[in-house]
Chain A
Amino acid sequence: MAHFNGVDYMDFDSLLNEEQKLVRESVRAFVDEKFMPVIEQHHRDATFPMDLVPEMGELSLFGSTIDEYGLPGLDNVAYGLIMQELERGDSGLRSFVSVQSALVMYPIYAFGSQAQKDRWIPRLASGESIGCFGLTEPDFGSNPGAMRTTARRDGDHWVLNGAKQWITNGSLAEVAVVWAQTDEGIRGFVVERRTPGFTTSDQHGKFSLRASVTSELGFVDCRIPADAVLPKTTGLKNALMCLTQARYGIAWGALGAAMDCYQAALDYAKERIQFNGQPIASHQLVQDKLAWMITEITKGQFLALQMGKLKDQGRLKHFHVSMGKRNNVWVARECAKLAREILGANGIVDDYPVIRHMLNIESVYTYEGTHDIHGLVIGAEITGIPSFNAPRPS
């Protein structure tokens, strides 16, 4: 099978160090050799290749930026390149690793007690346990602060009530990081799968992220021990910190999907012969589309890289991440559309990856902060005037 050799129009690689390139090479080889041969069928069947999870753990794909528990402690650029290569395979694969790393391991590692960390980080790292992140609710997406799920103190326990929706890996998870309103503000809880009162059901009929399990979580008088709370969570900001981690990865991941669409379109355009024995790549309108794609991908790479450098220096702000996520996912969405056009009828069948990426990106465009909300985050930053969640006029 054809191997992906990367998209590098402007010697981007000269800005990467040896480790970053090796990390990308390993993940690229894993995706090419293990994931690409099976994704088409999993996409059709709406399943995730769970049999690859132990190998993903061995490669240290889960929690790879953590520097304890025998984890590699990668820098953020290397982490971003992992996300790029995974999403070049499929957004569902990247989502799986994003959730496990940024939304489950990160909050347990950053806000958890020593006992919570010791218990969960090693088994989440190996993939022995899968985790999920419960923030979004049926009625609260862009406005999670108004969530209805509650956690009430009752002696030595907390009692959870409420529902969470659009939860990646919800029914696969042995552990859920769940956010709930308490008397002390919004706090995070570590909830184990078999806790009575905790149920999951899967979302069916998805046309997007088909190779990824999406679930609803239900809590009815679900009693969890007092020490299930993540002790260092004190408000919604802790949940948003997790999302900033995950969105940073998405900004890189989306480039992977865009690159795969671009590569598929370029290869196809050079091979597809129409009119006088010429490849369609010789047509000006096709070249214009390809030129647009490579230009936007290249700009997106430099944006992602600068975010990674700022993140390593502790200077990356949430409004930077909003720009990266918003721009790069939009680029991927446009690249998928243009590639689809270049492939003609072949662009709608799963012999080629383009339609799969195109459908996936529709989810990515509005999850983890919609495109529009990220625009408003940027707007709030540059004007100093938040246009959302503003106090109601009296």
Chain B
Amino acid sequence: MKIAVCIKQVPDSEARLRLAGDGRWIDESEVPFVINESDEFALEEAISIAEAKGGEVIVFTIGPARAAEALRKALALGAHRAVHLSDAAFEGGDAMSNGRALAAAIAREECEIVFTGSQSDDVGYGATGSVLAGFLDWPHSWLVMGVEMGEGTCKVTREMEGGLNEVSNLALPAVIEVQAGINHPRYASLKGIMKAKRKPIDTPSPSDLGLDPSAIGHAGAGVEIVSVDFPASGKGAEMLEGSPEEVAALLVDKLQKEARVL
């Protein structure tokens, strides 16, 4: 079984961010990049399924040269090979154009199931996996918290509002978008890291995938980020002072009379 995993390299959420000169994105030059959190869980899910049932894990990403580091880590963790959509034409996409590009790359590899995270930690569209499923014309499930592989099907559990768990069967091939916390991602063993050096990373061009450059990346995106900014410091904060008893009494009073929530 060929298992695809789509990962994204994102700025480390603990890093101190600065805005880029044009105000449209952050300054990436000084920021450490990591694998998107929920994608790490997707990768672990895929690797453990391949270990238990046999299969090949192929990891896919879209991104500039630096994204190869994320692929190398995925290979060190146990993925067998990687596909890096690194051509400049793939850059600057939205969920739609990225989903289209990934679908073409996955279709070329004839994968039977795709794992990916439910949402990226940078732009957070939460849509790329679903768009990808649309282009592949496969069933998909989002915010998945449990996966059980069957014969030609995959049983997934999702957390619903109100504490309910929903269980559903997806006919394979399918796209599974997992949540962080679904499993315990492993550490890359030092042996795995050295083995990863010899695992192949394929870098197909848009034409290798039969893609029209105008349909992918920035050119194919219908969403354009106009600006990013830090929220202005609010003026609503008020520090209550006094003994704990006084502060508590004051807080209750304000919640009743000003906020009117009690």
Task: Decide whether A and B assemble into one complex.
Answer: yes
**A59/B72 contact (C-beta < 8 A), A3-B14, A5-B14 known:** no
Which one, B153-161, B186-194, B213-221, is touching chain A? B186-194
B3 contacts which chain A residues (CB < 8 A)? none
Q: Are B193 and A19 interface neighbours, CB within 8 A?
A: yes
From A3, A19, A59, A78, B189 is in contact (CB under 8 Å) with: A59
Task: Give the CA-CA distance A71 to B192 in the complex, in Å.
Answer: 10
- A74 x B14 contact (CB < 8 A): no
Task: Return 15 A-B CB contacts under 8 Å, by A number.
Answer: A3-B14, A5-B32, A18-B69, A19-B194, A26-B76, A26-B188, A26-B190, A26-B193, A29-B187, A30-B187, A59-B189, A60-B190, A71-B191, A72-B191, A78-B190
Q: Which of A22, A74, A78 has the most CB of B within 10 A?
A: A22
Q: Are A59 and B194 in contact (CB under 8 A)?
A: no
B191:A70 contact, CB within 8 angstroms: yes
In the complex, the answer to whether B190 meets A64 with C-beta atoms within 8 Å is: yes
Residues of B within 8 A of A70 (CB): 191
Indicate with 1 or 0, residue by residue over B183-216, a CB within 8 angstroms of chain A CB atoms.
0000111110110110000000000000000000
Which chain A residue shows the least CB distance to B76?
Answer: A22
The contact string, 1 if C-beta is below 8 Å from chain B, for chain A 28-39, is 011000000000
Q: Could you say which residues of chain A place their CB within 8 Å of the CB of B68?
A: 18
- A:265-320 near B, CB below 8 Å: none
A118 lies within 8 A of chain B by Cβ:
no
Please tell me if the beta carbons of B187 and A59 are within 8 angstroms of each other in the complex.
yes
With A19-B194, A22-B193, A29-B187 given, can you name 20 additional A-B contacts, CB distance below 8 Å? A18-B68, A18-B69, A19-B72, A21-B69, A22-B72, A22-B73, A22-B188, A23-B190, A25-B73, A25-B188, A26-B76, A26-B187, A30-B187, A60-B189, A61-B190, A64-B190, A72-B189, A72-B190, A72-B193, A78-B190
Shortest Cβ gap from B169 to chain A (Å)? 35
Q: How far is the CB of A105 from chain B (nearest CB, A)?
A: 14
Nearest A-chain residue to B68, judged by Cβ: A18
Closest CB of chain A to B108's CB: distance in Å? 26
Q: How close is A319's CB to chain B, nearest CB, in angstroms?
A: 30
Q: Using an 8 Å CB-CB cutoff, how does the interface string of A210-240 with B read, 1 for contact, 0 for none?
A: 0000000000000000000000000000000
Q: A375 to chain B: which residues have CB within 8 Å?
A: none
> Ordered nearest first, which 3 A-B pairs have the shortest CB separation?
A60-B190, A72-B190, A72-B194
B64 to chain A, nearest CB (A): 15
Name B residues whose Cβ lies closer than 8 Å to a Cβ of A.
Answer: 12, 14, 32, 68-69, 72-73, 76, 187-191, 193-194, 196-197
- Chain A: CB-nearest residue to B12: A5
Say whether A19 contacts B14, CB under 8 Å: no
Give chain A nearest CB distance to B35 CB in angstroms: 11
> How far is B189's CA from A71's CA once the two chains are assembled, in angstroms?
11
A73 at the interface (CB under 8 A from B): yes
Write out the residue numbers on chain A whose beta carbons fall within 8 Å of the beta carbon of B189: 26, 58-60, 72
Given A30-B187, A59-B187, A74 contacting B194 (CB threshold 8 A): yes
> Are A19 and B197 closer than 8 Å at their CB atoms?
yes
In whole Å, how far is B105's beta carbon from the nearest beta carbon of chain A? 22
Q: How far is the CA of A64 from the CA of B193 in the complex (A)?
A: 12
Bound form: Cα–Cα A5–B32 in Å: 10
Q: Are B193 and A23 in touch, CB under 8 angstroms?
A: yes
CA distance A3 to B15 in the complex (A): 12
Asked whether B194 lies within 8 Å of A73 as measured between CB atoms, the reply is yes
* Chain B residues closer than 8 Å to A18, beta-carbon distance: 68-69, 72
Closest Cβ of chain A: how far from B40's Cβ, in Å?
11
Q: Within the assembled complex, what's the spacing in Å between the Cα atoms of A59 and B72?
A: 17
A37-69 residues with Cβ-Cβ distance < 8 A to B are 58-61, 64
Residue in A closest to B30 when the chains form the complex, CB atoms? A11
CA–CA, A23 and B196, complex, Å: 12
Which A82-129 residues have a C-beta within 8 angstroms of B? 82
Q: Are A74 and B69 in contact (CB under 8 A)?
A: no
A57: nearest residue on chain B (CB-CB)? B189
Q: How far is the CA of A71 from the CA of B193 in the complex (A)?
A: 11
Q: Roughly how many angstroms separate A341 CA and B136 CA in the complex, as a whole number?
A: 62
Taking CB atoms, residues of chain B closer than 8 Å to A5 are 12, 14, 32
Chain B hits for A72, CB < 8 A:
189-191, 193-194
Q: Which one of B73, B188, B190 has the greatest number of beta carbons of chain A within 10 Å?
A: B190
**Inter-chain contacts of B76 with A (CB < 8 A):** 22, 26
Query: Which residue of chain A has its CB nearest to the CB of B185?
Result: A29
Whether A59 and B14, one on each chain, are in contact in the complex, defined by CB atoms closer than 8 angstroms, is no
- What residues on A are CB-neighbors of B190 within 8 Å? 23, 26, 59-61, 64, 72, 74, 78, 82
CB contacts (< 8 Å) of A23 on chain B: these are: 190, 193
What residues on A are CB-neighbors of B197 within 8 Å? 19
Question: In the complex, A74 Cα to B76 Cα: how many Å?
Answer: 14
| Chain B residues, Cβ within 8 Å of A26 | 76, 187-190, 193
Closest CB in chain B relative to A84 CB, distance in Å: 14
The interface residues of chain B lying within 8 Å CB-to-CB of A59 are 187, 189-190
**Chain A nearest Cβ from B65, distance in angstroms:** 12
Cβ of B73: which chain A residues have Cβ within 8 Å of it?
Answer: 22, 25
**Closest Cβ neighbor of B69 among chain A residues:** A18
C-alpha gap A361/B12 in the complex (Å): 32
* Nearest B residue to A125, CB-CB: B191
Nearest-Cβ distance from residue A393 to partner chain B, whole angstroms: 52
Please name all residues of chain A whose beta carbon is closer than 8 Å to the beta carbon of B191 when the two chains form the complex.
60, 70-72
Nearest-neighbour CB distance to chain A for B178, whole angstroms, equals: 20
A22 vs B188: C-alpha distance in the bound complex, in angstroms?
Answer: 8
Contacts of A78 in B (CB 8 A): 190
Point out the residues of chain B lying under 8 angstroms from A71, CB to CB: 191
User: In the complex, which residues of chain A have a beta carbon less than 8 angstroms from the beta carbon of B69?
Assistant: 18, 21
